[in-house]
Every structure is written in structure tokens, then in C-alpha cells.
């Protein structure tokens, strides 16, 4: 699963403050599980931005919407025409969703509301463990199923280790 964290509200405001009609688009899969980018988080972020606009004395329309996944056309197609009516789409998906949506909307700006943090596993509810660096050169068959990029404290693919991190390689 892809783990993300919402960008600080001041950073988001700095990106969206110049637009007058903004929609916050949530993604209800990976980033919803880590409570960063689903429908609920999109609605909360839209509310925070509306409050910020009022505080700044700026007239803005800020709505929210969510789809199952922003990385698949079939989930975006039903809302594409609606999204095109906004000046800006603020996506709370991972970087893949932002990129994919941006290609579908062509000249419409799509900005990230999240920082994609890592690919992870969920060993227990609310606990996210980085397991994959997404480097594009997977060698897990050579390393006993352990990603040396993210699970080695020194990111060593080979060579002398020279130490551990809290007693673990």
C-alpha cells in the first residue's frame, strides 16, 4: 500500500490561494487507509481551506469529492467533466494519482495535497512499515525478500555492512 501524509495547511494554501474555484479530490484506497487522503480527509481539507479563505478575505469556492482510485480511468471517468469546471484540482492521492489525473485533465492544473511517503505494509491497524523503495530494479529474489534500499539502515545492495541499527542489519 502507498502511505502518504497531508502537506501542512500553510503549504497547501500557498499553492491554492491564487485560484477562485478549487475542488479537493480524495482517493479512497491506499491513502484513505492511512487517514491521509480519502473522502473524509478531502472534506476536512476543503473545510480548512474555506476557513483560511474567509480569514484572508478571499472569495473562493472550495468543494470536495472522492473516487475509489485516482490511478485508474474507470474510477475517474464519471467525474472528469465536473473536475474540468474548476480552476484547480487539489488531489489527496499519492503521486501516481496526481500524475495520472493531470494527464487526463490535460491543461487543468492538478496539485498534490499529500506527500507520498513510502510503500508499506500494515502489520496492525494504524501501524505502517516501509517495505519497498519502488526503485524499479527489484532483487527481492536475491535478498531473501528484504528490500535492501529501504530496510537496510545504510541502503547497501552489497559490500561490507560495517554495523547495524539498534542491533539489526
Per residue in 23-51, pLDDT (tens digit) is 999 999 989 998 999 999 999 999 999 99
Residue 130 belongs to a domain: no
Q: CATH number of the domain at 46, please.
A: 3.40.50.2300
* Element (DSSP H or E) covering residue 99: helix 95-105
Q: Please check whether residues 107 and 159 belong to one and the same domain.
A: no
Q: What is the pLDDT of residue 21?
A: 98
Q: What is the pLDDT of residue 22?
A: 98
pLDDT-derived band at 106, boundaries 50, 70, 90? confident
Per-residue pLDDT, averaged over 109-128, amounts to 86
pLDDT-derived band at 155, boundaries 50, 70, 90? low
Q: Please check whether residues 77 and 149 belong to one and the same domain.
A: no
Q: Please check whether residues 113 and 147 belong to one and the same domain.
A: no
Which residue from 142, 135, 141, 134 is spatially nearest to 158, judged by alpha carbons? 142
Can you name the residues that pair with 36 across neighbouring β-strands? none
Residue 127 belongs to a domain: no
Q: Please check whether residues 114 and 34 belong to one and the same domain.
A: yes
Residue 27 belongs to a domain: yes
3-state helix vs strand vs coil in the chain, percent to 5: 35, 25, 40
User: How many residues are present in the chain?
Assistant: 169
Rounded Cα distance between 50 and 88, Å, is 14
- Determine the structural domain holding residue 164 and report its residue range: 135-169
Count of domains observed in the chain: 2
Q: Please check whether residues 60 and 142 belong to one and the same domain.
A: no
Q: Please check whether residues 155 and 85 belong to one and the same domain.
A: no
Residue 20 belongs to a domain: yes
Q: Please check whether residues 32 and 86 belong to one and the same domain.
A: yes
Per DSSP, 77 falls in state: G
Which three-class secondary structure state does DSSP give residue 32? helix
Q: Please check whether residues 77 and 113 belong to one and the same domain.
A: yes
Rounded Cα distance between 91 and 45, Å, is 11
Rounded Cα distance between 78 and 20, Å, is 23
Residue 123 belongs to a domain: no
Q: Please check whether residues 35 and 102 belong to one and the same domain.
A: yes
**CB atoms closer than 10 angstroms to residue 26:** 28
Which residue from 163, 169, 114 is spatially nearest to 147, judged by alpha carbons? 169
Amino acid at each position: 500500500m502507498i502511505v502518504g501524509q497531508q502537506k501542512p495547511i500553510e503549504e497547501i494554501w500557498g499553492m491554492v490561494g491564487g485560484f477562485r474555484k478549487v475542488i479537493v479530490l480524495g482517493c479512497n484506497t491506499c491513502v484513505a487507509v492511512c487517514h491521509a487522503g480519502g473522502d473524509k480527509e478531502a472534506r476536512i481539507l476543503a473545510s480548512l481551506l474555506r476557513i483560511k479563505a474567509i480569514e484572508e478575505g478571499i472569495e473562493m469556492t472550495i468543494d470536495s469529492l472522492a473516487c475509489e482510485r485516482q490511478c485508474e480511468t474507470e474510477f475517474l471517468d464519471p467525474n472528469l467533466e465536473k473536475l474540468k469546471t474548476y480552476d484547480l484540482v487539489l488531489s489527496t492521492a499519492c503521486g501516481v494519482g496526481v500524475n495520472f489525473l493531470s494527464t487526463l485533465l490535460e491543461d487543468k492544473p492538478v496539485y498534490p495535497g499529500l506527500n507520498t511517503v513510502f510503500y508499506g505494509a500494515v502489520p496492525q491497524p494504524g501501524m505502517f512499515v516501509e517495505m519497498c523503495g519502488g526503485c524499479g530494479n527489484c532483487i527481492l529474489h536475491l535478498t531473501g525478500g528484504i528490500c535492501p534500499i529501504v530496510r537496510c539502515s545504510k541502503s547497501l545492495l552489497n559490500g561490507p555492512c560495517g554495523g547495524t541499527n539498534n542491533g539489526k542489519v
